[in-house]
Amino acid sequence: MNSRLTLMDFLLLSVPFLLLYRAAESKIIGLDNAWFKLATSLLFFLIVSFILLLGFKKVRIQIKINDLFCGGLILFLTCLSWFIFFFQQKYYAFAGYKMPNNIYLYIGLTFLFSLIILWGLFKGNNKLVMVALLTIFLCFWIVTLVSFPIVAQRSDMLPVIKEAGLSFLNGKSPYQIYTLFNGQELYQLPLAYLPMIWIPYLPLVFSGLDLRILSILALILTAFLFEQACRKIDFRKRLIFLSTLFLLNPYILYRHEVYTYFFLFIFALFLVFLIKDKTWPAAVLFGLSVSARQTMLILIPVLLVYLLKKYGFKKTITLALVTSAVLAITVLPFFASSPTLFKYGVFDWFQRDVKFATPSALRTAFNFSSLFGMFQLGELLQPLQAILIIIITAHACFFLKDKKQLLAYLTFAYLVFLMFNPHLMGYMYLSLLPLLFLYLKETESPND
């Protein structure tokens, strides 16, 4: 049985690999050239932009794929994932990374279930294929939990969330200054995350379990959500995207220590409800999304344009009030209990990175901020962000008509914001994945 992939599909599938490359390029191949990094940032911007443009093309080049192609891709992702694991074990050995004694058992299981996926595809047993894919996913994450500890030497995101959770459970304000050890010295930093980032971790903090269990649950739920929401897309095509973008995403397996995956699920759930016209739960979920990441505020202008056009002024205001109420309920109690440290952590801590757009940013920036830093123009980044968002919103006022266009405007607005943001880490681009995947769904089956 054949399916087809378009150029748009291949570009979307390339996104995780480009994120992985940028995260590990200087570590793997020693490449640390500023202009080359700027070029790869431009490439990423162009890839996402072309995906959006190709969604409006009626005639697209299509390539047939079969069961062997799908099974081969799963096998390739499995091999790449093990390469990433052994690389991490070597590169982060100083942080306590080491493989378990029974590592070859896990390797054997993943390759065995890769073959089971291929057999299931030949037999047309979709349930068996999904169970096998989930088993491979769990094998990798079990090895992660056992082999790669949560330590500040690799990343301070989950360690500070754990400390904040302990403070909250002990009746103290989570918004305070924490002291962590990076392997060489003690250093201090505030809790820099909004409440809906760290609150979901509280059950794990209370029970003393690994915080990444929430990441495992979130990724499974996200994959299941898209599996159900995109049923009219051919199963083999869904399998390719679910494995590459979520369950076996090589970048996610490399950045296992970041906090963003449960937020990704909330945001994806909001988008699914939005395109299915379930506005009330969408309003609640968007409030939770903003309560997790303040970058979601960038989407508000385009969302308001869409809601006003589709539902009118009265319902739009009501939905905005629901979102505002959710935001107030989740954020204001913590702001009121410690306003100075809340403001310092959530806002001022990142504002310091306006100064990040300097020549030194050329070593790490994955956007255009380094170009501005070369000419000492970093202070222009935020005004430029505002101008570009206004232009995108104004354009939407005249041309936004349907859900596919809504997803395109939301994606481009968020992309532009990130490309010109003074503070930018590669994992921030992961929020584009649900937007792009649903955009693909609306392009192929708009009535689903």
Distance CA 398, CA 376 (A): 36
CB 270 within 8 A of CB 289: yes
* 59-115 pLDDT, tens digit each: 566 788 889 999 999 999 999 999 999 999 998 999 999 999 999 999 999 999 999
Rounded Cα distance, 79 and 61, in Å? 29
Q: Which residues contact 279 (CB under 8 A, 6 or more apart)?
A: 273, 307, 311, 315, 319
Instruction: Decide: 327 and 290 in contact? Cβ < 8 Å.
Output: yes
Q: 305 is written with which tokens?
A: 């344009």
State how far the Cα of 114 lies from the Cα of 78, in Å rounded to an integer: 8
Q: In this structure, which amino acid lies at residue 337?
A: S
Q: Which residue has the higher pLDDT, 125 or 359?
A: 125
- The pLDDT, as a whole number, for residue 1 is 44
Mean residue pLDDT across the chain: 90
Question: Got the DSSP string for 320-368?
Answer: HHHHHHHHHHHHHHHHHHSHHHHHIIIIIHHHGGGGG-SGGGGGT--SS
Among 184-188, 215-219, 313-317, 370-374, where is mean pLDDT lowest?
370-374
- Which residues fall within 8 angstroms of residue 207, CB to CB, at 6 or more apart? none
Instruction: Output the pLDDT for position 357.
Output: 47
Question: Token match 């093990």: residue?
Answer: 82
Residue 349 dihedral angles phi and psi, to the nearest 5°: -60, -35
- Residue 410 CA to residue 62 CA, distance in Å, equals 26
Which pLDDT score is estimated for 202? 97
pTM of the model: 0.93
* Model confidence at 391: pLDDT above 80: yes
Tens of pLDDT, residues 105-155 = 999 999 999 999 999 999 999 999 999 999 999 999 999 999 999 999 999
pLDDT surpassing 90 at residue 390: yes
Distance CA 190, CA 339 (A): 13
> 């690999």: which residue's tokens?
17
Cα separation, 431 vs 258, in Å, equals 13
Asked if 302 and 410 touch (Cβ cutoff 8 Å), the reply is yes
Tokens 């500070």 belong to: 160
pLDDT-wise least confident of 52-61, 324-333, 361-370: 361-370
User: What is the tens place of the pLDDT at every residue in 18-66?
Assistant: 888 877 765 555 555 667 777 888 899 999 999 999 888 765 667 888 8
Residue ranges covered by each domain of the chain: 67-444
